Structure 1
Amino acid sequence: MARRVIELTAREAFLQLSRPGTHEVLRGDLALVGLPGVVFTPREGLGLPAVAFGHGWLQPVHRYRGLLRHLASWGIVAAAPATERGPLLSARLLSSNLATTLDVCAGVRLGDGEISVDPDRLAVAGHGMGGGAAVHTAAGSDRVRAVVTLAATETHPSAVDVARTVTAPGLHLAAAEDRIAPPVAHAEAIASAWAGPVQLRMLDKASHLGFAEGRHWSELLLDGRAERAAQTHAKAFTTAFLLRHLAGDRSYDALLDNDVKHAALAYQRGPLKVRPSRG
């Protein structure tokens, strides 16, 4: 019997998804399986979706703890490798670490063995250069089912170039007041080059570091600071997008399909259809 979809308005969906979900959350350490980093999971669940998250330049992974915990509360395993922390961040190496993180999530029973990840329900996401690295990971893997970037930064090798080969649905949240990675040359360029269905949203009051949580010494060098509104939008849109493409949950389509105050739909190409699950 087909599952009934509860129709919500965009505002109702935003308000629901900006709050924690119903799952109790566990925190783990990826170092236990040979890779520094953190992982947040629901307390239990088999065949769960998972996302690997790439940090921004000079940003520690704890600055994304709220987002990762939020995703886990909605039933999504969320992990972030704590690698490439120096000033010479390699997008290629961080991309490889994101792929390894997905391998770990899909290949190892988490928690006390009561948590597992479906290898056909994987996504990548990232902030700044971590967003660019996530694009590289998606380009190099046929397992990635969705990509989300926050204030994505062009990388070397070029994330714009490899975006032309990414067929997985992509959601790119750009910061209109981003002076580190101005959207036209970065997030907009990546979205325009995207091979698959893609959506670009412009957060009109956000800066580059708005998506990072708390305080950090890098704010002395980089423009912007933590912004609650940017983080709330990131939580709501990332959750809705991953639930749609990894879990087939259409309950929050109104949020993804309409303009939202302070998060205008700036560009979209192709319908963001849900891939049918196996079985």
Structure 2
Amino acid sequence: MARKAKKLPSAKHAFVELSRRGPHDVLHGDMALVGLPGTVCTPRSGTGLPAVVFGHGWLQPPRRYLALMRHLASWGIVVVSPATHRGPLASHRLYAEDMRAALDVAVGVRLGEGKISVDENKLGAAGHAMGGGCAVLAAAEDPRIKAVATLAAAETHPSALDAAPKVKAPALHLAAADDLLTPPVANAEPISRAWGGPVQLRTIKKATHLGFTEGTHWSQLLLHGKPEYTTQRITKGLLTAFFLRALANDRRGDLLLNENIKGSTIDQVNTHGKLAA
């Protein structure tokens, strides 16, 4: 009796795997206990782990990204998110400094009842809208940051666009196709073109500015869009593949990083090559 041919790995299979919860139990807590307001999510235990700081969008609390942070933690990545500069007159420069300070906390403090440690050579930065622009600013000033991901990145002051050429770390920029506040052509696209290292720009179809957020919040009366399950699922899969590859040399998401998937297309890869060679 003939055996069935074994299915070859595909971008779709990698997406299905990495958009699901990972193998680790997850803890989350308040960073205020160590002097900086914000949220921290970690695997239950582990040493020498990668860590990512996540920057919130304008007016958004970190809890609106909790499912994303818990998802990354379930795949073995510590995530810290400072809750500072949430007002209408937020300082982008100071928030970028707080993002760097949050990485200092991740590296310098034993988390998870002392059972978690972070490798200072495995640090990344990410963020939504304003937080995405501030992630670029933080990476331009902090050579410890080895990977950057942005969601509907917004321009900042000082300029994230001006800072982009200074960043040599690989980057994954996700743009929302129907974003009226930070349209791709005005924000993610020029930042991607100016990037100083390997970079990929992807557009998520039918996504709006707030599609990356979770739950309800009064800012939805002011800002465009609403939480979107499909946008969040695509984001979870892509960010997991990207940070596992860039910070932990885990290559199970290579096909996902280098191919289109349903709902998300690769729009730009710079001359430095693919994110996953």
Q: TM-score, normalised by structure 1?
A: 0.95
Q: 1:250 Cα shift?
A: 0.8
How many positions carry a matched residue from both structures?
A: 270
2:158 — aligned with what? 157
- Counterparts of 1:62-211 in structure 2, within 5 Å, are 62-211=63-212
1:224 — aligned with what? 225
Give the secondary-structure state (helix, strand or coil) at the position aligned to 1:225.
coil
CA RMSD of aligned residues (A): 1.3
Between the aligned partners of 1:203 and 1:178, the Cα distance in structure 2 is 10
Contact 2:140 2:164 in 1 (8 A): yes
Q: Share of identical aligned residues, percent?
A: 57
2:244 — aligned with what? 243
Contact 2:200 2:275 in 1 (8 A): no
Q: For residues 140-179 of structure 1, what are the alpha-carbon distances to aligned partners after superposition, in whole Å with 9 as ceiling and x for unaligned?
A: 0110010000000011111000001100000000001000
Contact 1:7 1:251 in 2 (8 A): no
Q: 1:185 Cα shift?
A: 0.8
1:3 — aligned with what? none
Q: 1:48 Cα shift?
A: 0.2
Query: Which has the higher mean CA deviation after the structures are superposed, 162-171 or 265-274?
Result: 265-274
| Gap regions ≥5 residues in structure 2 | 1-6
Cα gap change, 1:140 to 1:227, in 2 (>3 Å): same
Between the aligned partners of 2:274 and 2:251, the Cα distance in structure 1 is 11
Q: For residues 213-238 of structure 1, what are the alpha-carbon distances to aligned partners after superposition, in whole Å with 9 as ceiling and x for unaligned?
A: 01111010011000011111110000
Segments ≥4 residues shifted beyond 6 Å: none
Q: 1:22 Cα shift?
A: 0.6
Contact 2:257 2:276 in 1 (8 A): no
1:271 — aligned with what? 273
Q: 1:89 Cα shift?
A: 1.5
Between the aligned partners of 1:104 and 1:7, the Cα distance in structure 2 is 42
Give the secondary-structure state (helix, strand or coil) at the position aligned to 1:13.
helix
Contact 2:56 2:131 in 1 (8 A): yes
Q: TM-score, normalised by structure 2?
A: 0.95
Between the aligned partners of 2:39 and 2:216, the Cα distance in structure 1 is 19
| Gap regions ≥5 residues in structure 1 | 1-5
